[in-house]
């Protein structure tokens, strides 16, 4: 009997394995079995040829919309007999049949031309020598509908992150055939997305910085650079030991990077690192790259669905500002928002469970979005009536506290009111404004506050935004303000405005505000966390956080020093949330001045350019927060 049981289990295991292999293989071969692939170049109005890959359903008995993605990350695999494992924004759109097109943007990978990192838009172009990503998209769409067989004349564009930026760009001076655009985790402005937050440089983006850094006139294989000798290091200690940003220059010289195809004898500084260093303020270089400013005249034939992650560590500003700006300036357009419990681009995941970092939100959240929201959006506008009755809500937003989706007819919802909570004495967070007192802490640049307790402080962290923050609450250089245990639910829906009254013995300082949901100690565990041996008891979930580099408190263009020991107002807008602080939980605010190595260290002495600061500029200072400071929440009525 034992031998028989062993045989049964052996063969059933074999079947499972072979089934699994065949399932994976089948999925991998689905595109090859059901699509024809062609590779071509499309000539732009200035003569530059952009490499374009076209996947067309083998069933030529009908016509199909074109789904387009323009990317700096490559349209590979290259070669007519090499197929992507999956195409289209999701498997439903792949399996229903669409013509799917991927294009290397100008200057990247197989396309000709010179790459320009977030190329500035040129309004009222005079002639065909004036090009930008809007004209490249227009020329691409025009060629596709005239030359690709079996297309139905309707084009959609989508993309996550940088491809999301190109999707937003496509809506500017849009081609008449563009009927649906879905910018997702889209970069809006590099001074507030990815590399900077309110003027602080995201040191955590150090490794991603050279991604686009090749000199404008150098063809590049666009590979992500690797800093082989750094990956295994303790990033907190590495950056602390490195000292001022200028000591990192050596990592951005091409001799230091695996750039075998660049013939150069002298050291060539990475173009983007150079751009970051030479433009520490929100000057014309950064301003010209922002796409948000150009969304004031999106043509009504372009339906937009903007998608963002509530815990997106890279592009949170972008999706929210893209949706809000289109809504504000084009109120009659079909423009909608999806904002869910995701990290950067996580809604494209095919995983069954949805957690961000250590925090579990539920099962099938991404899968349901793909099947019921994204597929419905593109089908309605590219294959359906294309009218405004898509059956989808204006704003489909996830309450990260109640762990449920809500549909709203506007975002933020109309039925909210601004409620101020004051940073009171003895760690109280209260709606009562009390007599002003001062709370001080020493900001020690030799022991900056870590942004996470997870020692695997990684390059380009994407999951830290839900990391437990109780470790920080226990530090003397983190001020903590907390409500009593809540007797009723409080639901936030919209942005948060921190109105700090501060002082410092120095002449510059960073101010970081974190909004924390303190879970009760007796909270029931969910089995997902139990499987990961995670305890929700007393979990300090960071619902939202933001930094303001103090020199930019009044202007991102004209920075100003602090006057030592003078009470000064510092206002910080924290990006939108939709979160219910449930009865039995506590609302907590943490205020600190370092956030390392997520952001670089502020010398706490005013210097014109922190990228050029010297070691002696970095000084410990004593900071003060006055209890007249308040946090203004958008509370759902």
Q: Which parts of this chain interact with ligand PG9 (CB under 6 A)?
A: 161-162, 187, 194, 208, 211, 314-315
Looking at the Cβ atoms of 194 and 576, the one nearer to ligand PG9 is: 194
Q: Least separation, in Å, of the C-beta of 215 and ligand PG9? A: 17
Q: Least separation, in Å, of the C-beta of 339 and ligand PG9? A: 17
Looking at the Cβ atoms of 208 and 625, the one nearer to ligand PG9 is: 208
The gap between the terminal CA atoms of the chain, to the nearest Å, is 67
Those residues whose C-beta lies under 8 Å from the C-beta of residue 533, and which sit 6 or more positions away, are none
The answer to whether residues 378 and 304 touch, using CB atoms and an 8 Å cutoff, is no
- CB burial of 491-502 (b: ≥16 within 10 Å; e: otherwise) equals bbbbbbbbbbbb
Return the residue matching tokens 């695999």.
77
Looking at the Cβ atoms of 306 and 479, the one nearer to ligand PG9 is: 306
Alpha helices in 389-537 (DSSP H): 470-473, 527-531
> How far is C-alpha 156 from the chain's CA centre?
22
Report whether the peptide linkage leading into residue 96 is cis, meaning its omega lies within 30 degrees of zero: no
The answer to whether residues 178 and 170 touch, using CB atoms and an 8 Å cutoff, is yes
Q: Least separation, in Å, of the C-beta of 276 and ligand PG9? A: 12
Looking at the Cβ atoms of 194 and 399, the one nearer to ligand PG9 is: 194
Looking at the Cβ atoms of 11 and 224, the one nearer to ligand PG9 is: 224
What beta strand segments (E) does 296-364 contain? 303-309, 335-340, 353-356, 359-363
Angle 188-316-460 from CA coordinates, rounded to 5° = 100
Looking at the Cβ atoms of 137 and 161, the one nearer to ligand PG9 is: 161
Q: Least separation, in Å, of the C-beta of 160 and ligand PG9? A: 7
Q: Find residue 450's DSSP bridge partners.
A: 596
Q: Least separation, in Å, of the C-beta of 118 and ligand PG9? A: 9
Q: Least separation, in Å, of the C-beta of 208 and ligand PG9? A: 4
Looking at the Cβ atoms of 343 and 634, the one nearer to ligand PG9 is: 343
492 membership: H or E segment, kind and range: strand 490-504
**Nearest residue to 601 via CA among 587, 620, 583:** 620
Residue in the shown chain whose Cβ atom is closest to ligand PG9: 161
Q: Least separation, in Å, of the C-beta of 319 and ligand PG9? A: 11
**Nearest residue to 621 via CA among 474, 477, 450:** 477
Q: Least separation, in Å, of the C-beta of 174 and ligand PG9? A: 22
Looking at the Cβ atoms of 105 and 245, the one nearer to ligand PG9 is: 105
CA–CA separation, 94 and 87 (whole Å): 6
Q: Least separation, in Å, of the C-beta of 159 and ligand PG9? A: 9
> Sign of dihedral through CA atoms 364, 365, 370, 373?
positive
**Nearest residue to 577 via CA among 543, 546, 547:** 543
Looking at the Cβ atoms of 139 and 314, the one nearer to ligand PG9 is: 314
């Amino acid at each position: 009997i034992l031998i028989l049981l062993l045989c049964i289990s052996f063969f059933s295991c074999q079947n499972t394995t072979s089934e699994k292999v065949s399932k994976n293989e089948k999925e991998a071969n689905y595109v090859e079995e059901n699509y024809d692939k062609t590779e071509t170049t499309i000539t732009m109005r200035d003569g530059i040829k952009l490499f374009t890959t076209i996947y067309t359903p083998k069933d030529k008995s009908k016509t199909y919309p074109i789904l387009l993605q323009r990317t700096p990350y490559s349209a590979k695999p290259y070669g007519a007999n090499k197929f992507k494992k999956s195409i289209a924004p999701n498997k439903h759109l792949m399996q229903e049949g669409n013509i799917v097109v991927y294009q290397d943007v100008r200057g990247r990978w197989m396309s000709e031309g010179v790459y320009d990192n977030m190329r500035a838009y040129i309004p009222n172009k005079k002639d065909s020598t004036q090009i930008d990503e809007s004209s490249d998209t227009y020329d691409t769409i025009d060629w596709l509908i005239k030359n690709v067989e079996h297309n139905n004349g309707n084009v959609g564009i989508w993309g996550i992150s940088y491809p999301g930026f190109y999707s937003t760009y496509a809506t500017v001076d849009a081609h008449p055939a563009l009927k649906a655009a879905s910018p997702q985790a889209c970069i809006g402005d590099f001074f507030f997305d990815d590399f900077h937050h309110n003027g602080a440089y995201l040191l955590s983006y150090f490794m991603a910085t050279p991604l686009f850094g090749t000199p404008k006139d150098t063809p590049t294989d666009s590979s992500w650079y690797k800093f082989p000798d750094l990956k295994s290091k303790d990033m907190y200690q590495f950056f602390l030991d490195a000292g001022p940003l200028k000591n990192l220059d050596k990592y951005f010289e091409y001799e230091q990077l695996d750039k075998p195809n660049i013939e150069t004898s002298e050291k060539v500084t990475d173009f983007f690192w150079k751009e970051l260093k030479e433009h520490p303020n929100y000057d014309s270089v950064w301003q010209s790259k922002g796409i948000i400013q150009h969304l004031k005249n999106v043509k009504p034939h372009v339906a937009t669905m903007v998608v963002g992650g509530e815990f997106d560590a890279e592009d949170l500003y972008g999706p929210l500002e893209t949706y809000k700006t289109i809504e504000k300036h084009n109120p009659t357009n079909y423009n909608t928002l999806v904002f869910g419990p995701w990290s950067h681009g996580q809604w494209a995941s095919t995983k069954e469970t949805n957690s961000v970092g250590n925090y579990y939100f539920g099962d099938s959240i991404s899968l349901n979005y793909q099947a019921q929201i994204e597929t419905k959006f593109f089908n309605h506008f590219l294959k359906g009536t294309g009218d405004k009755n898509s059956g989808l809500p204006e704003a489909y937003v996830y309450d990260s506290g109640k762990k449920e989706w809500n549909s709203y007819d506007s975002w933020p919802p109309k039925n909210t009111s601004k409620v101020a909570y004051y940073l009171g004495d003895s760690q109280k967070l209260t709606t009562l404004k009390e007599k002003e007192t001062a709370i001080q802490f020493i900001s020690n640049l030799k022991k900056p506050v870590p942004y996470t307790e997870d020692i695997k402080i990684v390059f380009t962290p994407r999951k830290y935004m839900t990391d437990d923050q109780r470790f920080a609450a226990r530090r003397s250089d983190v001020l903590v303000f907390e409500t009593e245990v809540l007797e009723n639910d409080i639901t936030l829906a919209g942005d948060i405005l921190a109105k700090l009254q501060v002082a410092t013995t120095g002449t510059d300082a960073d101010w970081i505000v974190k909004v924390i949901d303190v879970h009760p100690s007796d909270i029931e565990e969910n089995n997902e966390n139990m499987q990961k041996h995670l305890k929700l008891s007393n979990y300090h979930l960071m619902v939202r956080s933001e930094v303001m580099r103090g020199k930019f408190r009044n202007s991102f263009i004209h920075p100003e020093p602090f006057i030592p020991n003078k009470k000064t107002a510092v206002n910080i807008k924290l990006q939108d949330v939709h979160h219910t602080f449930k009865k039995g939980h506590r609302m907590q605010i943490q205020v600190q001045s370092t956030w390392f190595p997520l952001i670089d260290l502020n010398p706490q002495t005013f210097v014109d350019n922190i990228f050029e600061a010297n070691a002696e500029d970095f000084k410990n200072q004593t900071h003060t927060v006055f209890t007249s400071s308040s946090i203004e929440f958008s509370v759902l009525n």
